[in-house]
Amino acid sequence: MLSTNEIKRQMQLGNIVIDNLNGNAMKKPNSIDVSMGNYLYVYDYQILDSRMADVYLKEVMEDKPFYLKRVQIPETGLLLEPYKVYLTKTTESVETHGFIPALHGKVAMSLLGVSVELNSGYKYDGYNGNMLLSIVATKPTVIYPDIRVGNLTFFPSLDTSNDLKVSSGITYGSYTSGMLSGNEIRRRMEGDNPDIFIDDTEKIVINPNSVNLTLNESIGIYTEPVLDIKADNPYRKVNLEDGMWMYPEEIYLARTNEWTETNNLIPMMSGRSSLGRNGLHVHCSAGMGSIGYKGYWHMGIRPTKPIWIVKDLKCCQIYYYTVDGEIDNTYNGLMQNIPKEELGSQMHRILQKKR
């Protein structure tokens, strides 16, 4: 994954073009803040037809609604309704040559139960256009116009070159960057100044290319029926000592038992397939970390069906990407070194900081 410095360099070379970029959107070490505008598209009916997917997409990208309904987001806010899918696109447009753009949601939105993600996951080398977003709220949630809703990242597009030889269908050569194997994760944890630090080393499980982390016993549940992304929404804490039921209409605030620190690498977090097969989402499209992140991993957990959860559950896995480009700054956001007692979203503080 490119460092922000490398993104800037490739922009100067014309290999990455980003229009309508906010002036201070490039403060993070390996991603760019992107925004949504002041309108959303909603399905004005309850039953969708997958055969119409391309038609829906065209309506959003060309701003010509017919089957979809265009909704303006007022300055006073718009209430997102649960079980509705909202479509929009970033105000920024992206063009790439030799690089693959990818968009991730923000943890501050995830902890409010709001999923913000690129519909098709990663885009492709040569992409040119705005990034399409789908937005889904777990609870009724007030959203506002022109907010920063995603982190835009870039990966080099690997192509066969003189450095890579193909013989009998097998590619030989070396890759300059990529995801760490489990053995490399273990190696990067060694020494006096390791790139990866995870406490409780004796308890963690290192997989072929990731590390399992476990669920802390303290869980937060919002106490208000309607959430507001500008508000410090109150929540109560419950203890998982004897386990508890989680229900689909709630978003559950949680963190890992393990404290992690990452240097010179980009950490990522995803759910475990064993939980996914039980319909449990451990985060709402916000699994990307930053170079230099220090802290617990915070999750907005959403169950699809009622499910019984216990403490110390292997709830997620973290994995690591190498960095392409110079690193001259590391993460220093609101989630850095956050106290273990704090479980709620920091979105209200982020928005106050942007003013």
Write the CATH number for 82: 2.70.40.10
Beta bridge partners of 41: 70, 87
> Is the per-residue pLDDT at 161 higher than 60?
no
Supply the pLDDT for residue 77.
93
CA distances from 341 to 56, 236, 244, 320, 346 (A): 43, 12, 19, 26, 13
On whether both 191 and 314 belong to a single domain, the answer is: yes
On whether both 243 and 347 belong to a single domain, the answer is: yes
Q: Is residue 320 part of a domain?
A: yes
**For residue 38, which phi and psi values (nearest 5 degrees)?**
-115, 25
On whether both 217 and 307 belong to a single domain, the answer is: yes
Mean confidence (pLDDT) of the chain: 85
Last residue within a domain, chosen from 139, 156, 173: 156
Contact 351, 28 (CB under 8 A): no
Look at the alpha carbons of 9, 179, 105, 295 in this order and tell me if their dihedral is positive or negative.
Answer: negative
On whether both 194 and 300 belong to a single domain, the answer is: yes
Q: Is residue 244 part of a domain?
A: yes
Identify the domain containing residue 331 by its residue range.
182-354
On whether both 149 and 104 belong to a single domain, the answer is: yes
d(CA 23, CA 31): 14
On whether both 152 and 275 belong to a single domain, the answer is: no
Q: Is residue 176 part of a domain?
A: no
Q: Decide: helix, strand or coil at residue 158.
A: coil
On whether both 241 and 135 belong to a single domain, the answer is: no
Q: Is residue 18 part of a domain?
A: yes
On whether both 205 and 94 belong to a single domain, the answer is: no
Task: Enter the pTM of the model.
Answer: 0.85
Last residue within a domain, chosen from 96, 122, 156: 156
Supply the pLDDT for residue 314.
87
Token pair of 304 as six digits: 């699809």
**How many alpha carbons fall within 13 Å on the CB side of residue 248?**
7
On whether both 96 and 189 belong to a single domain, the answer is: no
Q: Is residue 171 part of a domain?
A: no
Q: Strand 205-206 vs strand 211-214: parallel, antiparallel, or unpaired?
A: antiparallel
pLDDT digits (tens, 9 = 90+) for 323-335: 888 888 887 776 7
Q: Measure CA of the first residue to CA of the last residue in the chain; give whole Å.
A: 30
Which burial class, exposed, middle or buried, applies to 308 when counting CB atoms under 10 A from its CB (0-12, 13-18, 19+)?
exposed
For residue 115, the one-letter residue type is: S
Supply the pLDDT for residue 15.
92
Q: Is residue 269 part of a domain?
A: yes
Place of tokens 């963690």: 204
d(CA 240, CA 304): 19
On whether both 118 and 262 belong to a single domain, the answer is: no
Confidence tier at 224 by pLDDT (50, 70, 90): very high
Beta bridge partners of 221: 236, 252
pLDDT digits (tens, 9 = 90+) for 280-338: 877 766 677 888 888 898 888 888 889 999 988 888 889 999 988 888 888 777 677 77
> Is the per-residue pLDDT at 355 higher than 60?
no
Contact 334, 265 (CB under 8 A): no
Q: Is residue 174 part of a domain?
A: no
Q: Is residue 175 part of a domain?
A: no
Count of domains observed in the chain: 2
Supply the pLDDT for residue 192.
85
Choose among 179, 337, 183, 200: nearest CA to 265.
179
On whether both 150 and 299 belong to a single domain, the answer is: no
Contact 281, 272 (CB under 8 A): no
d(CA 347, CA 107): 9
On whether both 31 and 67 belong to a single domain, the answer is: yes
